[in-house]
Amino acid sequence: MGEPGTKELLSLEELEAAGSFRTGRKHILSILVENKPGALTRITGLFARRGFNIDTLAVGPTDDETISRITLTLDGAVQSIDQVTKQLHKLVNVLKIRDLEPTETMARELALFKISADGGSRAEVMQVCEIFRAKIVDVSKRTLVAEVTGTQEKIDAFERLVRPFGLVEMARTGEIAIARGRAET
């Protein structure tokens, strides 16, 4: 692998071999932060600086009004996630971080789908909704809006099934998560 400062060209393969492009399993990080201006930027900036792409990000209040919970999902090799986690710990406003173990975690996402459903396809769309326990929350002549909750995978599957009917719009919250059992997240 070429060294910085030399004139060697770096090929993509070399970069790949050196781990410059990361792949790995999905991670769900749950981060408790003090409710301070700039806290979110600092956190997302840390990921950006290390070239991580955040897949989903959900921010909301906790039972303590001075503290917010940030749940974010991303792909990353374990080693480098570990490094980012340590860097996150150094942020003064960050109180707690958990890299949640998928098997011990309840993760849920909420999504709204606006689907074309005119005369012919309406019944079929409604059937799909029923199978997925999606609630129909708005209906117009040509469209209906379905509300689905579930894991990322379930929502992905729902999307695949309704897409052929004509997917007008979709909005997803990104997953939020909490540890199973008695243990605190």
Partner 1 sequence: MRAVDALMECLKAEGVEVVFGLPGGANLPTYDAFYDAGIRHILVRHEAGGGHAAEGYAKATGKVGVALGTSGPGATNLVTPICDAMMDSVPVVFLTGQVRTELLGTDGFQEADTIGITMPIVKHSMMIQHPLELPRAIHEAFHIARTGRPGPVVVDIPTDLSRADIPYEPITDVHLPGYQPTTDGNQKQIRLAAKALANARRPVIYAGGGAVGASAELRELATSDRLPVTCTVMGLGSFPASHPQWLGMLGMHGTRTANYAMDEADLIVAIGARFDDRVTAKLSEFAPHAKFIHIDIDPAEISKNVPAHIPIVGYASNILPRLTTEYRALKPDPARLEEWWHRIESWRARYPLAYSDSDDSEIKPQYMVQALFEATEGNAIVASDVGQHQMWAAQHYHFDRPRQWINSGGLGTMGFGLPAAMGAKVGRPEEMVVCITGDGSFQMNTQELATCAQNGIDVKVFVMNNGYLGMVRQWQELFWDRRYSQVHTGQYPDFVKLAEAYGATGVRLTDKHTLVEGMRQALATDGPVVVDVRVSAEENVYPMIAPGQAARDMVG
Site of interaction with partner 1 (CB under 8 A): 1-7, 33-34, 37-38, 41-42, 45, 49, 83, 86-87, 89-95
Q: How far is the CB of 21 from partner 1 (least distance, A)?
A: 18
116: left (phi over 0), alpha (psi -120 to 50) or beta: beta
* Cβ distance to partner 1 smaller for residue 34 or 75: 34
Nearest residue (CB) to partner 1, 5 versus 164: 5
Q: Min. distance of Cβ 174 from partner 1 in angstroms?
A: 23
Smallest distance from partner 1 to CB 30, Å: 15
* Nearest approach, Cβ of residue 2 and partner 1 (Å): 7
List CB contacts of 130: < 8 A, sequence separation 6 or more.
none
CA angle at residue 62 from 135 to 100, to 5 degrees?
80
Q: Which is nearer to partner 1, 89 or 133 (CB)?
A: 89
Strand ranges across the sheet with 26-34: 54-61, 67-75, 26-34, 94-100
The DSSP string of 110-178 is EEEEEEE--HHHHHHHHHHHHHTTPEEEEE-SSEEEEEEEE-HHHHHHHHHHHHHHHEEEEEE---EEE
CB of 53 to partner 1, least distance (A): 17
* CB of 7 or CB of 141, closer to partner 1: 7
Q: Which amino acid, 39?
A: A
Q: What is the spatial distance between Cα 134 and Cα 154, in angstroms, rounded to a whole number?
A: 11
Residue closer to partner 1 by CB (options 5, 120) is 5
